[in-house]
Amino acid sequence: MARATRQSSFLHKLSRHTAHNAVAVDLGTANTLIYTAEGGIVLDQPSVVCFDRGTSRRKGSDAGVAAVGVEAKALLGRAPQNLETVKPLSHGVIANFDAAEHMMRRFVAMARPRRMLARRSAFTVCVPGDATRVERRAIREAAFASGAASVNLIDESLASALGAGLPVASATGSMVVDIGGGTTEVGVIALGSVACGGSIRVGGDQFDRAIIEHVRNLYGVILGEQTAEHLKTTIGSALRGEPIERLRATGRSLEDGLPRTVEITSEDIADALALPLRQVIAVVRQVFESAPPELVTDIADSGIVLTGGGALLGRLDQCFAAELGVPVRVAEAPLTCAVRGAGAAAAGAVVADQPAFCAYD
């Protein structure tokens, strides 16, 4: 649903901390990234944590944590009974605070050998635009628990626009569509803030589930989540048409419960993703409807920029351009736009005579 965004300036608050002590965190549903000005991306791991059921979890301790990140993701759907695998975030916000706290603490520890995280730092964390006050507080508390000296929150759309190199401080309007693991954020950026925006809790995870459901209905085979994700990233396409790519996938047969291998095409993926993509496009249309006409004119000239992991879906820019009638392009390195933009804002990317960047606080 389209919304107008009320935000407060945090530029002066960030300026109290030296640029070299600033850390940006993109705590995403699918992946968590940590960025520093000197080290760049110092951590990029799946947002998954695995616990040993037989070990008690103590607050402020990593006791009971069997694995995090890549190692924990490899256990999804495969973990033995003594292990519990958890994805602490849902739709870009914390769904399991205890698991999120343990995961963040371990991630910061993994990055800490880097010189930039050798001491307590000021964290700037990306948050969805529609995150509630309670959800934002949970993110702040998890960041403090992981060792942050101070925590500031920045709108995901604003961070993504900055990381994509858009002229966010200009009076000229820019539109960014950030497709994450659990949420898609749409923002019209001008004068250093989100002039208007919208959000829908549809992202890469929902794309995977749509593929699983489509293959189940079409071939009578139930795929695992990681298999569906592999299909999406390997042959996924937002549009039907040539060239058609094919990939064999193995799942469980609905008929007899035995393993069964089927050949999936890029057109199958396009059919599966048609509904969630229509939902995303509908939110973009709503944001256009609520945006001031002058900013809409700017966007008609400059086009829409796609960021986030979902932007890597094949022919997605063509799909959006055909539906919306404006130029669409995928940002360079879309997966890391948000964390790089948050890092740039935390390091004082705006000079004193420019409009202040804004963030949720």
Q: What pLDDT, in 10s, does the model give residues 307-352?
A: 999 999 999 999 999 999 999 999 999 999 999 999 999 877 543 3
Residue 325 lies inside a defined structural domain of this protein: no
Q: What pLDDT, in 10s, does the model give residues 192-246?
A: 999 999 999 999 999 999 999 999 999 999 999 999 999 999 999 999 998 999 9
Residue 35 lies inside a defined structural domain of this protein: yes
Residue 248 lies inside a defined structural domain of this protein: no
Residue 53 lies inside a defined structural domain of this protein: yes
Position 11 scores a pLDDT of: 41
Position 142 scores a pLDDT of: 93
Residue 326 lies inside a defined structural domain of this protein: no
pLDDT above 90 for 260: yes
Number of domains making up the chain: 1
pLDDT above 50 for 10: no
Position 358 scores a pLDDT of: 40
Asked if 188 and 299 count as a contact pair (C-beta separation under 8 A), the reply is yes
**Domain extent for 350:** 2-160+340-359
Residue 92 lies inside a defined structural domain of this protein: yes
Residue showing tokens 């393993």 = 259
For 276-294, what is the mean pLDDT?
A: 97
Q: What is the pTM of this model?
A: 0.88
Asked if 151 and 140 count as a contact pair (C-beta separation under 8 A), the reply is yes
Residue 309 lies inside a defined structural domain of this protein: no
Strands of the sheet containing 304-307, edge to edge, are 2-3, 193-200, 184-190, 174-179, 304-307, 328-330
Distance, in Å, from the CA atom of 200 to the CA atom of 128, rounded to the nearest integer, reads: 10
Report the CATH number that the domain containing residue 62 is assigned in CATH. 3.30.420.40
Residue 300 lies inside a defined structural domain of this protein: no
pLDDT above 60 for 12: no
